[in-house]
Structures are given as structure tokens and as C-alpha cells.
Structure 1
Amino acid sequence: MSVWDDLVGQEPVVAQLSSAAANDGDPAHAWLFTGPPGAGYVTAARAFAAALQCTEIPRGCGHCASCHQVLQGTHADVEVVRPEGLSFGVREARALVLRAGSTPTGSRWQIVLFEQAERATEGAANALLKSIEEPPSRTVWLLCTPSPEDLPVTVQSRCRPATLQTPPVDGIADMLVQREGVDRETAEVLARAAQGHIGRARRLAADPEVRRTRDEVMAVPRRLTGVSAAVAAAAILVKAAEAERDARTVELGESERTALRQALGESAKGRMPRGTAGALTDLEKRQKSRATRVMRDALDRTLLDLASYYRDVLTLQLGAGSDLVNVDLGPELRTAAGNGRPEVTLRRLDAIMACRERLDANVNPLLAFEALTLALRTG
């Protein structure tokens, strides 16, 4: 067992990080972890943080107290930043710089692990730049983002890159068999359906509701029998995303409000001290922003699943010989390919990408998806 065990198919990056962790004198003061969504670049950054704080030789043993604390998110000298909303602003960035300058309490390094660093605004990135460029001698920054281009060039150039690749299907299937207890045939189906996203593969394997939601999405092409059916299909997809949003945010939001009210001095009768309204309002804004992000992520995943369906159809129509993503739908995909033309399938893929652009432009999700399902019906 080691801290690197959860990295699937990333042997070059593991070798790079292991070597850097072993160099106690200079592991580089700032790192940029990038890769396709789901490849595990945040997991790699967390494993590297654990290896840097590890008290054993070789570094990254996975069983010492420091490794456990880092991997569980409780290490006092590892500051994990997870933007709750759609952006990470200047005020948060300045507070983070102050924390990053702290002296380690009992470890070798003060580490800042910034997940989804692409959410930093331009002003926030500029506020972080000075600390990333010239951090205190015992501070290490670990920035995580899908692509280097998501950050300003000035920040990119100050970081050492750790670039992950899309994990191979066989590697993900092996992980599902070993970690989730899935039989080999099912593991291969789920590994392909996850399209290289390890977290998605694990959720598909572990949660029947996640599989049911995906089945709803993949059933859309055969439901588009008329205008009313297309509109109904759009509503089903949006409601599924709303249900996921509520499931992930409602309970958490209530616990956050309760904890904050108690911390601010709520009385036994539920009354709040004067001057606390602003803190409660700020929390509500962050929660609303987080709910919006979760909703957008769910809708985007729906679009990617739909795109994989028509990608498979196009692959069959062109005789490309590539492996299917949705191998469990093989007969249906072959029928759809035989009944259609490549140019129509391409227009449908374009419609999916257009829907993504509309959502990025804050178009009402239901309207965007109704336009999409109607376009998919007509081709």
C-alpha cells in the first residue's frame, strides 16, 4: 500500500512525484496538476502532499499518521481549498496567501492544495501570483486544473507541471474489480461508460441511482418520437439534474446554517445577536452559488453522455473501427447507425455542443434542453 495506489495508469507522473518527494531539500515550491476531467489530477496532488509530509522512507508510505491525515483532509499543515461557488475571488485569495505564509506546526512543509484553481478570477490569480512566485521557504503550492490554459501565463510559468493522461479502460476496470468488487464484464462496461473519469466509474459501480440516471439519459434518443415526447424528454433530464443538486446540497446547506448560527451565538429561542446578518447572508450566497455549480456539472455530464451515444453511432456509420463507449447498447447503436446518415449524426452532435454553449451563457436549462431534444429529433 502507498499513497499512489489510487492513481490509475499514471506511472510516469507517479515516478516524477515520487522522485520530487524524496528530494527533501527542494521539491519545487509550486506545482500545476493538470489532465482530463476524472483522470485523477486532484488525487495526484493529494497523494503528493501526503508524500511530502510522510515521516517514513520511502516517502508516501500510505500507513504513517501523516499520510493518513493528509489523505483524510485533517492534516494541520495542508490547507485544502475547494471553491464552493462558480468563482474564487480576490478577498478569498488574499486570505489564502496569509495562511500559506504560516510556519509549519510540526511538519516539513506548509502545503496549499488548491482544487479547481481555474475558478480563480483574474484578480484572485494576480493576488496569488506573488506568493506562488516567491513563497516562504517551507511553503509548497499545489494547483489543480484541467488545462494549463485555465490559468494566466504568469501563474503557469511559476509552476512545475505534473500532467496526467486519460486512464486506460483496462486500468479503470481493474480498479473497479479490486476496489468495488464488480465482476469483470460489468467493470469493463462501466469503465467505458465513464469515458476515462475514475470518479464517475466508481459512482456508477457503487450507486444504483447514478446508474438509473444514466439509463434515463441514454434512453432519450429512442424516446424522441414526436414534439411532445421531445419536450417531455427535456423535462426528465433537467429534473434529474435538479434532483442531484438537491441531494448534494440541501442536507449540507442545513448543517452549515446550523453550525454557523451556533458559532455566531444563537440563543435558545433561535434569536441571533446583532451584527450577524451579514455572515448569514454571505453563507446563503455561497450556498446558492454552489448549488448552481452542482446543477451545471450535472447537466454537462448529461450532455457528455448524450454525445457519447451519437459518437458511437457516427463511429459505426463511418466504419472507423474504434471501440464503442456504450458497449451495453451495441444492438441499438447499430440499428440507429443503419437507419441514419453521418451528416445527420454530426448535426446532432453540433446541437449538443450548442446546448453546452447556451448553458454557459446562462440560458434557462429547461429551454436549452427543449431546444436540444427538438434538434435531436429532427436532426
Structure 2
Amino acid sequence: MSKWYPKNGRVIFHVDMNSFFASVEMAFDPSLKGKPLAIAGNPEERRGIVVTSSYEARKYGVKTTMPVGEARRLCPDLIVMSPTFERYRTASKEMFKILADVTPIVQPVSIDEGYMDITDCEAQGTPPELARYIQERIHHELDLPCSIGIAPNKFLAKMASDMKKPMGITILRKRDLAKKLWPLPVEEMHGIGEKTAGKLHHLQIKTVGELAAASPLELKRILGINGERLQNKANGIDTKPVDPEAVHEFKSIGTSTTLPHDTTDETEIRKVLRRLAAKVEQRMKNKQVLSRNVQVMIRYYDRKTVTRSRQLQDYMYTADDIFNIALQQFEAHWTQEPVRLLGVTAQDLADKEEVTQQLNIFNYESYASKEKLYDAIEKINKKYGNDTFKSLSSSEQGQVTTSFQKDFLDDYKKE
């Protein structure tokens, strides 16, 4: 048993539900099992987009982000359904309850995945035994499949859980890196998007192993501080703990400036807000975080100060997004009196690498352009038109006004 529970190390699980939305629908309606199924926004429209698909559908080439029309051409028998979010929310809560029965050290990172630190669970069995117990219990009680990665840290556990799907259990130790991790293309490494992969390819770095052995100076020159982080992970180094309180954290990055003179000049005010937004963006990039709340502070000539913030549906970090939201808040609350000071703050932050956006119809236009989907979406829009990613206007409970992912994590905080 001691070989599984080192004195100085940790034992981390990453539990990843397989084809979650589709699997929940199959559990709810067993007649769907074994059939090609896709969950899509606006399924009645050929230009609606596939959110997720069953493994039976994937065998025909049906993929996430694919237009429904194209998916149906590949798989004429494809069953296409609209999302039923409350159903997914309920299933997720039950899944996390099962994880919490094993250890209180559970960190959800999205509706369908989370980390567990089982280092102190030696009395309950070996890590493979515990993984099988969790997997079998989720399957038996919820009729849902999951894959589990077992590793000494979060990054390796995440990579391990992706190596065998569905219903896989994979152990990834540091001594396994050369055989299991390093041969993988850099695009398959958690934390590397398409743009970063392109930069690495420019350096002739095409595998995780080549990244692990690359020149640190070259990586820093091309990727900045993120180059060091990625290389550490490629070498199996990740010191971030599983933090059950991470879901409760509300951090912020902000900056402000006193204007040279009190002003009501809207052009000057816009320039100041844009400059502040650029500073916030740079600090967010340095810290590798995303935000879903932007606050603007207005201090008038008489030192009266007001702050107004806006909660967002999805995470963002670009200067343009920050500026636009800050400007909207300013215009909505400015009294037309002379302004003495302006401030912009990004709040409700999360580590960029830990934000696993559940690919759904609320995320595409606002978030995907910053991640791996950028080129795919651009090509789809050029081919099928800019209305491809229409938002769903209602759910089982009426009008959708907030991000489904945010709602889930907010609910988890309350429990």
C-alpha cells in the first residue's frame, strides 16, 4: 500500500465525465443508448452547432462545433436534441456528492469534471481500487460513464484522464512521462491552445517531449512567463494543490488614474478608459487569469465616488472586451458632471488553465475566439454565415439570462 501513498508526495484524481450532456440524455431515456446522438443549439436549423455528441455519433465523424446540417450528412440517422440544462445540473450535483463521500478535498472546475486529493485515503484502498469504486458507483447510481486520471499532481491527472475514454482509468507517474506523455503532439497538452501551438511549431517544437527539452530562453522569448509554466508541466511539474475553496475565491485586478484636469470631454474619457483597460489586460495576461466581472469607478470633481460593476456570462480578458464593458457602465451611470478620476477593475478571476469552458451555445462568440476554437469558428462562419452560432433563447425554465457554467459553480458554492 505504501508504494501508492508516498510520504512526501500527493495522489491526485481527475474525474472527467464522458460525453456528459449526451450521456445524461441517454440515462434519462434509455431508448437513446447505442444510438448516434448530438446535443445542439437550434437543432431545427441546419446551421445550428453541435455542443457534444455520443461516441456512436463520433464514429461517423460528428464533432463538437460542427453545423447540424453537416453532422446529419455524415450520419443520416443522427438524433439531434436541444440541451436540457436542469437535467445536467442535477446529474452533476449527484456526481460531486459521490466524490465528496470519498474525500472532502474536491475541487470542481466545471460542471462535468473535478480534482480530488486522495492522499489521506489509504484506509479506503489503493488509488486504482478507489478509482474503480468511484467509476462504478457513478455508473451504477447515475448510469453515467466517466474517466479517471491518477497522478502525483493536477496537471498529470488531467492528462491521464484524457488518455482512455470512455470509462478509462489511467495512471500517469513521472517515470511514465517518456513513454506516455512526451510522444503526444503539443496540441494535446492541457493549457496549449492553437495559437500557442503555432508559436511552438515555429520553434520546431511539435511534441510534448520536445517542449520539455526546449531552450528555456527561447520559450520565454516567444511565450513570456507562460513558456516556463508550460515547460515545467511538460516535465511533470505542477505544484498547485487541489483547493476546495478555489470555487469561493473572488480576486481582482484593477488600476485607476487621476485625470490632469476635471473633464466632461467624452473623447478624453474614452481614451483614459481604453488605456486603463489595456493595463488591466496586461496584468491579467501576466497572471494567466480570466475575468467575468468588470467594475468601473468614477470620482467627480467634488470627490464623490461611485463604483458600478457588471457580471458577465463568460470569461474574458482582452482589452477590447474590458474597455467596452467599462464604457457601457460609465455611460449608464455618468451624471454628466466633471470627472476627476477613473478606475477599471477586472473581478471574479480564475486561472486561465483551470477554466474548462463546457462547450455550449452560450460560449462560442464571446470566448472561443480566444481559445482552440478560433480558427474552426472563423472557417464555419465564412462557409455558413455569421448566424451559425445563434444563442438559444429559452430553456426548460424560461429565458436564459446567465451562463449555465456560472450558475452551476455558484450553486456549488452554496452547498
Query: What is the TM-score of this pair, normalised by structure 1?
Result: 0.28
Q: Which has the higher helix share?
A: 1
Using structure 2 for the length normalisation, give the TM-score: 0.26
